[in-house]
Structure 1
Amino acid sequence: MTVTIKQEEALKKYIIPLSKEEFNLLEQNILKDGCLDPLRVWVNQKGEHVLVDGHNRLNICEKHGIDFEIKQMSFESLEDAKIWMANNQLGRRNLTPDQVSYYRGLKYESLKKNNKGYAQVKSAGQNEPWTYEVLAEEFKVSASTIKRDAKFAKALDKIGQTNAALKYDILSGATKVKKADIMLFADIDDYKKLNFKNEADLYNKANRLRNKMLTEIEGQLKQTEIDRIERAKEELQATDPMFNTKDARINRIKGQILSAMNKAIQHNDAKAFQELEGLIKKLHTVLFDD
């Protein structure tokens, strides 16, 4: 029975294309010895045979009409298939640091979707560790590294949606772009407007975005300082009459005069009479000397 193998778009990003030299070498080996390793497929809920490993081998075999074997894999969902593919790629020995970071980020996102942000509960009553904590322990890196990996993977995929070749050139090392520049695009929602053309275009847009972000931060800092000064003025006006308006100071002194007068009359308080004299002089100053 002939099996139709489907290459799922959502899974293709888990495969880093071979360089031209690597692909040619693989093609020569398959032409010489046949396809020695079986292709791995997942039979999904629709009964489709979805390819999860062997994309380059499949393309070569179909191109030259070469027979191949398949091995079925069992996954409960597409996210489980993604996690397996990320693990499979991370098991390779020849990954670059950026490729390792990318696949850790992809694995993090798939695990987070599967477990709603958490790993599975270890035991009854025990708090669930966050997914990034589980992966940090697995890969012996910090939790912040896993979070940066996720941001890196997210940004690279957005770049890939407008320029797939540029994404894979970055991952293969053919194009040298700073990781920090790439991560700037992780939170851009309307990535289609970016429309990356090439490495220079990405660099220029990253530079403009960084400058824009710095301007916004400076504006926020300035506004924070303005707000702090205004709050300080309000506090001073509430406690010190010299910062109040003339009418406010007059009303404040009037209240103090009435209070001192009542105290002096009701309690026959000499000190209150002295305070009253001082308040009347103060009122005179405000009324006629300001």
Structure 2
Amino acid sequence: MAKKFGSVIRHKRNRGEELGATQAIKSKIKVLEELRSLIPPLRDEEYLQLLDNVRKEGVREPILLWECGEDYVIVDGHNRYRCVEELGREEVRWHVKVGDFGNIEDVRAWMIDNQLGRRNLTDLQRAVLIEEKYDLIKQGRGGDRRTKTNGQNLPIENNERQNAYQVIAKETGRSERTVKNDIAVARGLKVLPEEEREQILKGEKKAKKGDLAKLGRGQAPATKVVKAEAKPGAKVTAGVWLIESEGRREMVRVRAGKVERWGRSGKVSLEEFSQGVSFLEKVDLRKV
């Protein structure tokens, strides 16, 4: 009897230590915007339904975390965690699980593949994830190479890096042509203001994939261009412009006195960029 009682005490002590460790982890949870942005946004009614479910039943699936230094970064469960925060951490039942990820690239690759496996993605949401996966593969990571032991994505070989379209087409069951168009659509979405982009991804606002693809390829959507050709010395206001430079036309975005070019890293001042460049027409993104 004494032996059995002793084992019960040890069990309670171990259980207490486990709960203490879990509480310590929960107190160090962090949301990284660059990871949260990989999660397709919920419509208002979808979030309210999830909130009601969490209120009644708690969080069924553990929130997956990545141990990063002293923080525990959310990998899967951003919307569930948002519900927990809104309802009160101590008011609902919720659990966490720490995954084995080597670095943030491994986390991004896992998240993208996990989201692409969802059945309820819209075409535009899938396009955004495919473009993210394409960028990872071009950097040398992101193929579906998760090991059975730790879920980490291994580096991609050079030949696979060069054939990123083929890799994605094979893994997603889409044609290379469709993959290329998805990437153009996603890049077109990036042109739009954040609020408008989110409305489109939620399905609250319509947008033609063809027009988005043209934006992503640096082309002006037909019949969507407003404002006459900028006169020499005219002020170039913030927005998206169709420009001509060295006989080539492309789209650029102007904001805060800086110019951003699609597919090219870094920004340059408007004054420096304007040398030898003709700003032809401004694109009205509200009509895209």
The answer to whether TM tops 0.5 is yes
Partner-residue secondary structure (3-state), 2:65? strand
Q: Deviations over 1:208-267 (max 9, x none)?
A: 59x986x969x779xxxxxxxxxxxxxxxxxxxxxxxxxxxxxxxxxxxxxxxxxxxxxx
Q: In structure 2, how many angstroms separate the alpha carbons of the residues matched to 1:19 and 1:170?
A: 11
Q: CA 1:116 to 1:49, structure 2 compared with 1: closer, same or farther past 3 Å?
A: closer
TM-score by structure 2 length? Answer: 0.58
Mapped to 1, the partners of 2:182 and 2:120 lie a distance apart of 18
Equivalent residue letter for 1:34: G
Is 1:54 equivalent to 2:50 in the alignment?
no
User: Quick check: 1:80 aligned with 2:106?
Assistant: yes
| 1:20 counterpart = 2:44 | yes
Distance change (3 Å), C-alpha of 1:128 and 1:108? closer
Give the Å deviation of 1:94.
1.1
Q: Contact 2:137 / 2:156 at 8 angstroms: preserved in 1?
A: no
* Aligned counterpart for 1:92 among listed residues 95, 106, 118: 118
Query: Partner of 1:171 in structure 2?
Result: 201
SS at match of 2:189: helix
RMSD, matched Cα? 3.5
> Who is 2:61 aligned against?
37
Structure 2 unaligned blocks of 5 or more: 1-22, 144-154, 230-240, 250-288
Higher fraction of helix: 1
Q: How far off its partner does 1:69 sit?
A: 0.9
How many residue pairs were aligned?
A: 197
Say whether the 8 Å CA contact 1:79–1:111 is kept in structure 2.
no
What amino acid is the match of 1:24?
L
State TM-score, norm by structure 1: 0.58
- What are the equivalent positions in structure 2 for 1:142-221 lying under 5 Å apart? 142-159=175-192, 163-186=193-216, 206-208=224-226
Contact 1:108 1:132 in 2 (8 A): yes
Note closer, same or farther for the CA distance 1:5–1:114 as it changes in structure 2 (3 Å cut): farther
Q: Which amino acid aligns with 1:114?
A: G
Q: Which residue number corresponds to residue 263 of structure 2? A: none
- Give the alignment of 1:220-235 within 5 angstroms: none
Offset of residue 175 of structure 1? 0.9
Letter in 2 for 1:29: N
- 8 Å contact 1:177–1:203 — kept in the other structure? no
| 1:109 alignment partner, one of 120, 135, 147 | 135
In structure 2, the residue corresponding to 1:43 is in which secondary structure? strand
Separation in 2, partners of 1:13, 1:43: 19
Deviation at 1:51, TM superposition (A): 0.7
Question: CA 1:203–1:134 in 2, change beyond 3 Å: closer, same or farther?
Answer: closer
Q: 1:104, 1:150 within 8 Å by CA — same for their partners in 2?
A: yes
What is the correspondence of 1:259-270 to structure 2 with a 5 Å cutoff? none
Higher fraction of strand: 2
Does the Cα contact within 8 Å between 2:59 and 2:94 map onto a contact in 1? Answer: yes
Shift of the alpha carbon at 1:38?
0.6
Contact 2:109 2:142 in 1 (8 A): no
2:175 aligned partner, one-letter code: S
Q: Which has the larger radius of gyration?
A: 1
SS at match of 2:115: helix
- C-alpha change, 1:115 and 1:36, in structure 2 (3 Å) is closer
Q: Which amino acid aligns with 1:167?
A: R
Percentage identity across aligned positions? 32
Query: 1:120 corresponds to which residue?
Result: 156
CA distance in 2, matches of 1:36, 1:111: 33
1:68 matched to which residue of 2?
Answer: 94
CA contact (8 A) 1:27 1:60 kept: yes
Alignment of 1:243-258 (within 5 A): none
1:116, distance to aligned residue in structure 2 (A): 10
